[in-house]
Structure 1
Amino acid sequence: MSLPAGVCSAAPSSAVFGRQDVTSSAEPDLHALSEIARRVRWLSAAIVDAANRGRLNDTGIKVGGHQASSASMVEIMVALWFHNLTAVDRVSVKPHASPVLHAINYLLGDLDRAYLPTLRSKGGLQSYPSRAKDPDTVDFSTGSVGIGATATIWAAIAHRYLRSKFKGTPPAGRFISLLGDAELDEGAIWEAVADPMVSQLGELLWIVDLNRQSLDRVVPGIQIDRLQGMFEAAGWQVVTLKWGERISRLFSQPGGEALRQRLDAMPNEEYQRLLRASPTDVASRLAGADPAPDLSALLARMDTAELSAVVRDLGGHDLGLLVRTLRDARSDRPTVIFAYTIKGCGLPTEGHPNNHSSLLSESQMRLLAERCGTSLEDPWRAFGEESVPAALCEHRSRDLARGASACREEVNVPRSLAHAHRRPVSTQAALGRLLRDLANDAPSIAARVVTCSPDVASSTNLGGWINKTGVWSSGERIDWFADDSERLLRWAEAIDGQHIELGIAEVNLVGLLGELGATWSRWGQRLIPIGTIYDPFVSRALEPWSSGIYAGGQSILVGTPSGVTLAPEGGAHQSITTPSIGLEQPGCTAWEPAFASDLEWCMLHAMSQVGLAGGTSAYFRLSTRPIDPALARVPDDPVLKERRRRQVIAGGYRVTDNDPSAENVTLIGVGAVMPEVLDAARTLNSAGVTAGVVCLTSPDLVFRAMNEGSGDATVLDSLLPRQARSPLVTVQDGHPHTLAFLAGWRGDAIRCLGVRHFGQSSDLHDAYKLHGIDTVGIVDAALRLLGR
């Protein structure tokens, strides 16, 4: 293949791990592709127009949409869907190009015509591509800029992991991200690109819509060299499609090289202004103040209209160039294609710096319809049945058809393991033991577990599990410390490992968790992904984790250690708001067990809910504080023990056996503070104040039972019987407002104890005293409520 000057060549593709040959050898029908591109440009604009001008709206709130951002992506997406894609490819579409995706799916017969006027309406097309909520095929949910683009990386790793574990896993092709150049401002992009594992993923293909505009402005200066260098330094193949074939032929004529140099040296702002200039002014703007003689001669020879058109001939709008470049992208390492485009290409607003969310008027829509060979009165008109574009749409619809990906095997997670909890142990250590025991007691379930960590595996107690199962790598690697007798953690990296270690980037961790948790719906193989992270950094990872849950990725995130219980680490490493973050996260159940037995039951229950239709993610807040399991008073009788287990997974249980109607005060604790809560109850009882104790394992589930009627509706009646009202003191190593809702159940007086300000380095007792969650603070709060 001969590419125009200025376009990087690409080696032919070849098969790599987990990837099929995905290229089409047939020559494209460029005329048919052009006709389809014209229709897609119209349909994407009409979808937004119908949502705004065509819909009754008495709220005064603009519906919105992105006609200009869609227009710049049309040729890129047409080249992909109508020539280069196969059914096994997966594509992440930039958020603001969702109308283009829906227009393409409509032409392919994957979207009913009735949905086209429903953008941003209830039950209609979502504002941004949504894998869970849109009615047509969407591979990745996007919307949070940077997060959707990087999802292809984690999906590629997840598929490689599946292929290494389970025979019969369906093949995958390329994992493609379509993203805007302004999206490269997001730090999530570079955290992902920089991870050492990513440079091995030859199935990755990113296409950057380089339209040189962001939401509010033209991207200043010329940044392409910096961006190219950053990808190259990370091991990516970089391909740049700046100019189309028409203007590239002009560059070879006398004066053409001077024209190229003039255009390449233009700042983005000057080029954008050139697009908005009158055709009669283009030549003088190109010439500049002191033009080279051969440039002046070239400009003088050119027709005004031709010159105005040729400066718009960018690589990202050249269908032939796009098709060949996409076909020939390398497969031995990831590829990024910088495709120069015009924002609003083909629209009356093309190139305008304020066109991001502007809407075409009726007269502008009529002009666009005329250019695209359609009409505003019949906006959804399809191609004629006997036309070449219609035949191509039908052909590509068959090529891209996918079968269902139902899970193939029943996976039954045990309710408990046959190991007693007798010695004081922290919930963090209990997690490590549970995973190790699971591999022995339930190997078929353990085979579905994959753990992940951002370089904190050993400090979050995954060492035993890693020694048992190994670290996963897409290929065998030499363990240079295998003969070191003093090494406690065996870090053998091989294709059969079950722990994936990432660099210190929490965003990458949760991105991978989301895609590992979506394999059941993508490829019919269920995984149970568990990620460990220092709890103070949950907030840093929250947006991408939440986005993954929104997209249908189910996983278990373990925040540990948590709270001021991590006293020596000081305020920088003491999490305060995470309990309420967990309670407020949709699609997730938040847990904070205090005892090893509670952790076992809650974790196994959470594992049973991950990786299946109707499943849910989970967040665990764990501690490094060893707690005596005897304090939980777990019954020995099997029937009563099972009753306790059910209470634990419903959200909480009573530790004391007082008659609730005889209690003067009820103390409610969560997590690591339970020893202080129980000690405070003993102190109060010795002073003649009858104090009951409730241990909550999931304030989240209790809140739902109270406010939503979901979960176990009887849990509150067992914890706080309506007929036995008493003042409440709640205690948590986190913000006190997390449990304030409990007062609303019976209308009790309440005092909520917790952490409201940054701490400092100290020992555990000083930390609890500083925040008023020690025994003395709890007793004092109870007596004050009672007026004593």
Structure 2
Amino acid sequence: MTDQRIATIEALTRKALWLSNWMIHHANHIRPNVDGVKVGGHQASSASMAAILSALYFGILRPEDRVAVKPHAAPVFHAIQYLFGKQSLEKLQNFRAFGGAQSYPSRTKDTDDVDISTGSVGLGVAFTAFASLIQDYVRAKPWSRKDSPEGRMIALVGDAELDEGNVYECLLEGWKHGLRNTWWVIDYNRQSLDGVVREGLYDRIEAIFRAFDWQVITLKYGALQRAAFAEPGGERLKAWIDAAPNAIYSALMFRGGAAWRERLLDEIGDQGPVTALLARRSDAELAELMANLGGHCTQSLLEQFEAAGTDKPTVFIAYTVKGWATPLAGHKDNHAGQMTGAQIETLRQSMHVREGHEWDKFEGLADPAATERFLAEVPFNTTESRRRTSPPVPTIGPQFVGTSATSTQTAFGKILDAIAKTDSDLAQRIITTSPDVTVSTNLGTWVNRRNLYANREMVDVFQKEAIPSAQKWRFTPEGQHLELGIAEMNLFLALGAAGLSHSLFGERLLPIGTLYDPFISRGLDALNYACYQDARFLLVATPSGVSLAGEGGAHQSIASPLIGMAQDGLASFEPAFADELAIIMDWAFDYMQRQGDARPDLADWPRDVTGGSVYLRLSTRSIEQVPREADKVLADGIIRGAYWLQPPTPQCEVVVAYQGVLASEAIAAAAAIGGDRRNVAVLAVTSADRLNAGWHGAQRARLHGDAKARSHIELLLEQVPYRAALVTAIDAHPATLGWLGSVLGHRTTSLGVEHFGQTGTVNDLYAHFGIDAATIETAARATMGGRS
């Protein structure tokens, strides 16, 4: 490590610090604000991490490394990308504006080199652990390429992010699976949005990581401080720093050198070596010394990063000052605070930035040409795209599983087992995972055939001891099921990491995650996060609804179809029959791999070109299957969201539209009314999500001038006489289908579940909530004018 290298990275740190602060100031105080709404930004949080980010990006990282940046340090990240030439000036000038650099790093919205989206604090941190596990999973497989080096998965962590429970859930999974190649760098500035952290937190953080077998490296003192400690009286200065309460240290940082001198002389001045140590430094030099914590010292950061040298998971606890090197340093209100015009002017002058040259890349640097040459040689600054690619995996067609009475959950297990029996590329690239409900979500047969994944062979003790068991729990590097504990946040983070394997590691995976449908809400933040990353996976949520009657209200999901409709990047389906499910799953494996480029807001279905993830809401309730040939017309209807199980005639008086397991009740109700020779149509809805999005897509197309645009649901309901009525029924919230009447103006009665259920039989609960065949029939007759 040369002095020149350190000096250059220190200069680039100050450059990144200036650009990040100016970016926020420009967005809030210079750029026109036409609506008067606060723009925001985090100058102090950015300053806190400027040296850490700079040491990593300019000195340590390699192209194969993947980084999750602390959300509030996004401006520093964008500034570094700008210095690399991977971010435009226009994007910086439009930070937090339409089309500009994003408030928080985003894989999908930013154009610079974001590896892992962050924003919902704590999720990006945990994501790196699962990304590392997926990297090991991929490299363990015989089909994977071994021509690229292993990367480190690195999270830059705000200390307040450690308040998030999902961080600790992921630590346990990492320990279980032998986590490797993971670095977390904690910005230990001891401040959060509402104040200064409690004393003694460091000891707890250290103990937690050591308990999970992480290497813990503390960066508390910078090179200046270590040199001062070696002077006469230095040991007493070190002891004072170690004993100083967090709040006192922060307050003195804000007050400056004179305040430091007064406090230190008062508390440890001895008219001897300590006093002499302080006297040898001006107020400015003393302030610099006390601010020279490990997290702000380029030399210390580089030394510790380079010395880590192991694949053991490592946490660096880097002591920092929130607002470091700015007028905001240390103040307890600095989290969302911003510099005044006078303060930014003071900072500008200290950075030797001339007025009118605030955006210039090398303004204020002593040797711009040498700095530019240095940047060109930084290992991380490759000219090749760090987003990797992988060719699509061919699908093998729908795997039909017979016509006997069955549930969609059972059919799912049989379809997956049929795929497992093949030696197809599709079967090899599937990875399954589940939060401790593998067997009860019907993944058991898949796991028995394809085994559980572990980085080393582990015997099934029950099998070895000759104890009969339906489950053959063999762990092996060739296994294709990732065992998880009962934490839904971990499930969605694992799916997100596996669903980005093609981009992060150059190998395509087709992840399938199963969980109980009621507990989607427990991991909803991580599900949204995975979709925001544009990760690709198949989410199978089963069992679901009040049809899970004996489990009671805690396990009877009501709102999940509405979640499926509202969640961007997730196409949701709720099939009733096994052949529908087979067709949807085959389509899903293709949809998960699509990479087209299109205007999502103008497409017939927003992601039919670009692809996305898929959510299946399944049931444990068996129903009779419809004997039929699954031709192209039927398959197209299933995928587009609906088809006529019983088509309307010109004399149609009522349409019964259902989604999911209420098929039996809808068919029985229609038959009862049809017995009176009234014409009743039955609309099988497989995806209210795709129907609704297609309808909105057609509306947008018409607004953009395509007067002939029609959605699938419009074409279906155009066959229904206007005088006819609709009755919708679903084992979930009635709003899922209640909008159908708005498509063409048919009067509509919507049946469903709006309240927590209770235990009982399916018949009891269906009658209680009014979704049984008798109630559907009554509602249908009422919509026909009450005629019998």
- What TM-score does the superposition give when structure 1 sets the normalisation length? 0.92
The alpha carbon displacement at 1:586 in A equals 0.6
* Preserved CA contact (<8 Å) 1:219 1:268: yes
Distance in 1 between residues matched to 2:406 and 2:149, nearest whole Å: 44
Distance in 2 between residues matched to 1:501 and 1:527, nearest whole Å: 16
Q: Deviations over 1:85-105 (max 9, x none)?
A: 111111110111111111111
The counterpart of 1:619, out of the listed 615, 622, 645, is: 615
State the AA in 2 paired with 1:550. Y
Please name the residue that 2:639 is paired with. Answer: 649
User: SS at 1:660's partner residue?
Assistant: coil
User: SS at 1:777's partner residue?
Assistant: helix
* Preserved CA contact (<8 Å) 2:433 2:514: yes
Please name the residue that 2:119 is paired with. Answer: 143
User: SS at 1:103's partner residue?
Assistant: helix
The counterpart of 1:460, out of the listed 435, 441, 445, is: 441
Distance in 1 between residues matched to 2:457 and 2:4, nearest whole Å: 41
Is 1:603 equivalent to 2:585 in the alignment? Answer: yes
Structure 1 pair 563–292 and aligned structure 2 pair: CA distance change class (3 A) = farther
Is 1:226 equivalent to 2:204 in the alignment? Answer: yes
* Preserved CA contact (<8 Å) 2:175 2:213: no
State the AA in 1 paired with 2:78. H
State the AA in 2 paired with 1:696. V
The counterpart of 2:53, out of the listed 66, 77, 84, is: 77
The counterpart of 2:163, out of the listed 178, 182, 185, is: 185
User: SS at 1:520's partner residue?
Assistant: helix
The alpha carbon displacement at 1:488 in A equals 0.3
Distance in 2 between residues matched to 1:434 and 1:739, nearest whole Å: 28
User: SS at 1:522's partner residue?
Assistant: helix
Is 1:174 equivalent to 2:174 in the alignment? Answer: no
Percent of aligned pairs with the same residue?
37
Distance in 2 between residues matched to 1:409 and 1:393, nearest whole Å: 33
The counterpart of 1:671, out of the listed 653, 657, 660, is: 660
Q: Deviations over 1:391-425 (max 9, x none)?
A: 211211675443465544342213323x4522111
Distance in 1 between residues matched to 2:337 and 2:468, nearest whole Å: 66
* Preserved CA contact (<8 Å) 1:220 1:267: no
The alpha carbon displacement at 1:785 in A equals 2.2
The alpha carbon displacement at 1:193 in A equals 1.2
The alpha carbon displacement at 1:197 in A equals 4.4
Structure 1 pair 301–717 and aligned structure 2 pair: CA distance change class (3 A) = closer
- Give ranges in structure 2 of 5+ residues lacking alignment: 596-609, 702-708
Q: Deviations over 1:96-122 (max 9, x none)?
A: 111111111111122233322110122
Please name the residue that 1:767 is paired with. Answer: 765
Please name the residue that 1:275 is paired with. Answer: 253
* Preserved CA contact (<8 Å) 1:28 1:320: no
Please name the residue that 2:739 is paired with. Answer: 741
The alpha carbon displacement at 1:440 in A equals 2.8
The counterpart of 2:241, out of the listed 257, 263, 269, is: 263
Is 1:354 equivalent to 2:343 in the alignment? Answer: no
Structure 1 pair 347–405 and aligned structure 2 pair: CA distance change class (3 A) = closer
User: SS at 2:646's partner residue?
Assistant: coil
* Preserved CA contact (<8 Å) 2:13 2:51: yes
User: SS at 1:195's partner residue?
Assistant: helix
Please name the residue that 2:601 is paired with. Answer: none
Q: Deviations over 1:501-536 (max 9, x none)?
A: 111111011101011111222233221111001111
Is 1:681 equivalent to 2:670 in the alignment? Answer: yes
Distance in 2 between residues matched to 1:308 and 1:368, nearest whole Å: 16
Distance in 1 between residues matched to 2:491 and 2:401, nearest whole Å: 32
User: SS at 2:774's partner residue?
Assistant: helix
Distance in 2 between residues matched to 1:55 and 1:134, nearest whole Å: 20
Structure 1 pair 281–52 and aligned structure 2 pair: CA distance change class (3 A) = closer
Please name the residue that 2:413 is paired with. Answer: 432
* Preserved CA contact (<8 Å) 1:200 1:334: no
User: SS at 1:661's partner residue?
Assistant: coil
User: SS at 2:535's partner residue?
Assistant: coil
Shifted more, 324-333 versus 693-702: the winner is: 324-333
The alpha carbon displacement at 1:37 in A equals 1.2
The alpha carbon displacement at 1:309 in A equals 2.7
Distance in 2 between residues matched to 1:52 and 1:509, nearest whole Å: 39
The alpha carbon displacement at 1:128 in A equals 0.7
Structure 1 pair 376–531 and aligned structure 2 pair: CA distance change class (3 A) = farther
User: SS at 1:526's partner residue?
Assistant: coil
* Preserved CA contact (<8 Å) 1:28 1:323: no
Is 1:241 equivalent to 2:219 in the alignment? Answer: yes
Please name the residue that 1:579 is paired with. Answer: 561
The alpha carbon displacement at 1:156 in A equals 1.1
User: SS at 1:762's partner residue?
Assistant: coil
State the AA in 2 paired with 1:372. M
Distance in 1 between residues matched to 2:650 and 2:716, nearest whole Å: 12
Is 1:40 equivalent to 2:16 in the alignment? Answer: yes
User: SS at 2:263's partner residue?
Assistant: helix
- Give ranges in structure 1 of 5+ residues lacking alignment: 1-24
Matches within 5 A, 1:360-399: 360-383=339-362, 387-396=369-378
State the AA in 2 paired with 1:272. S
Please name the residue that 1:11 is paired with. Answer: none
Please name the residue that 2:135 is paired with. Answer: 159
Distance in 1 between residues matched to 2:510 and 2:540, nearest whole Å: 13
Q: Deviations over 1:407-453 (max 9, x none)?
A: 44342213323x45221111111111111111234622111111111
* Preserved CA contact (<8 Å) 2:734 2:753: yes
Structure 1 pair 298–722 and aligned structure 2 pair: CA distance change class (3 A) = farther
Structure 1 pair 278–315 and aligned structure 2 pair: CA distance change class (3 A) = closer
State the AA in 1 paired with 2:641. G
Is 1:540 equivalent to 2:522 in the alignment? Answer: yes
* Preserved CA contact (<8 Å) 2:697 2:711: no
Distance in 2 between residues matched to 1:497 and 1:263, nearest whole Å: 51
State the AA in 2 paired with 1:686. G
* Preserved CA contact (<8 Å) 1:283 1:299: no
Please name the residue that 1:14 is paired with. Answer: none
The counterpart of 1:450, out of the listed 418, 427, 431, is: 431
Distance in 1 between residues matched to 2:144 and 2:659, nearest whole Å: 43
Q: What RMSD over aligned residues (CA atoms) do the two structures have, in Å?
A: 2.3
Distance in 1 between residues matched to 2:694 and 2:91, nearest whole Å: 37
* Preserved CA contact (<8 Å) 1:242 1:339: yes
* Preserved CA contact (<8 Å) 1:258 1:294: no
Is 1:110 equivalent to 2:100 in the alignment? Answer: no
Is 1:195 equivalent to 2:177 in the alignment? Answer: no
Q: Deviations over 1:120-142 (max 9, x none)?
A: 12211111101111111111111
Is 1:525 equivalent to 2:522 in the alignment? Answer: no
User: SS at 1:194's partner residue?
Assistant: helix
* Preserved CA contact (<8 Å) 1:664 1:690: yes
The alpha carbon displacement at 1:301 in A equals 4.5
Distance in 1 between residues matched to 2:757 and 2:269, nearest whole Å: 66
Structure 1 pair 767–736 and aligned structure 2 pair: CA distance change class (3 A) = same
User: SS at 2:440's partner residue?
Assistant: helix
Distance in 2 between residues matched to 1:141 and 1:127, nearest whole Å: 11
Is 1:60 equivalent to 2:36 in the alignment? Answer: yes
Is 1:414 equivalent to 2:396 in the alignment? Answer: yes
The alpha carbon displacement at 1:47 in A equals 1.4
User: SS at 1:200's partner residue?
Assistant: coil
The alpha carbon displacement at 1:467 in A equals 0.8
Distance in 2 between residues matched to 1:338 and 1:156, nearest whole Å: 20
Shifted more, 550-559 versus 264-273: the winner is: 264-273
Distance in 2 between residues matched to 1:302 and 1:251, nearest whole Å: 14
Please name the residue that 1:5 is paired with. Answer: none
Is 1:95 equivalent to 2:68 in the alignment? Answer: no
Is 1:469 equivalent to 2:450 in the alignment? Answer: yes
Please name the residue that 1:715 is paired with. Answer: 712
State the AA in 2 paired with 1:621. R
Count of residues paired in the alignment: 756
Shifted more, 286-295 versus 319-328: the winner is: 286-295
Shifted more, 701-710 versus 176-185: the winner is: 701-710
State the AA in 2 paired with 1:595. F
